[in-house]
Chains A and B, each alone.
Chain A
Amino acid sequence: MHPTITQNDILRYAYGETTTEETVLIEAALASDEQLQDFYILLKQVGDDLNQKMYAPHPTSVNIIMEESQDSSLEISN
């Protein structure tokens, strides 16, 4: 019998925060528990969506940062 694996454990597993021993137990539980499987699949779907839909800064923002870096570099060397 598996020790009780919760959705919180699945969250830690999905984000690579479990120990080797915990990972073995969680993967065994995932193989046999449909509710945990559903939660894991949902978590992966949301994660994939979040990775695909991100904002990109305007190129001007990056230029401003790089200019600031160059200016502060000059200040240090002078």
Chain B
Amino acid sequence: MQKNLIPDQSLVVSYLEGNEAALEMLIRRYKQKVLTSIYMLVHDRYLAEDIFQETFIKVIHSLRQGKYQHEGKFLPWVIRIARNLSIDHIRRRKKMPAITDSEGRDVFGYIKVEEPNAQDRMELNQTNGLLFELIEKLPEEQREVLILRHYGDLSFKEIAELTGCSINTALGRMRYAILNLRKMMVFVEQRQ
């Protein structure tokens, strides 16, 4: 496992002392894990970018207001913020009334507002493999535990507390996520 040379807490202290580069280093360190976690929750690349920005802006304000109590857990703290913001967006989206056409179909179901440009497409193709497609097919609670444990570095106990289930349930969801992914991978290989 790659060890970070400068501990997160030293970077946080340095940032609060006025060193902007320390924040940039923290963002660079965790940007992929945070964005990927958000994307896997909201399934929309552009919305994920927006929530990514919102997350770190909230991180900045919370740090400046002294709301962050370090316990060696900077990434899990950021992931909790990202998860809460993602859930807020999902709830807001569900509350939005559907705009239907003359045949009663949801307009946003077939209108693509903005096509990705060539660079975005290349980036998506390079990073979005079969595994991501299969993860999206997992039941929500299994996918969430997988994301929080793997990318968010939350312990199973912390996941249990955050999602309101027992540790055994969190472990069971993770186990089923892994086993279901294998089943789907075998199925895909057999069809090829």
Binding site for B on A (CB under 8 A): 7-8, 11-12, 15, 17, 39, 42-43, 46-47, 49-50, 53-58, 61-62, 64-66, 68-70, 72-73, 76
A11 touches B171 (CB 8 A): yes
Q: B residues touching A (Cβ–Cβ < 8 Å)?
A: 18, 20, 23-24, 27-28, 31-33, 35-36, 39, 45, 48-49, 52-53, 56-57, 60-61, 64, 123, 127-129, 131-132, 149-151, 155-156, 168, 171-172, 174-175, 178, 181-182
Q: Bound complex: CA of A69 vs CA of B127, how far in Å?
A: 29
Please list 22 pairs of residues, one from A and one from B, whose beta carbons are closer than 8 Å in the complex, sorted by A's number: A8-B168, A11-B175, A11-B178, A15-B156, A17-B156, A39-B178, A46-B131, A46-B181, A53-B127, A54-B127, A55-B36, A55-B128, A57-B52, A61-B52, A62-B24, A65-B23, A65-B56, A66-B24, A69-B23, A69-B60, A73-B20, A76-B64
Cα distance A69–B35 in the bound complex, in angstroms:
19
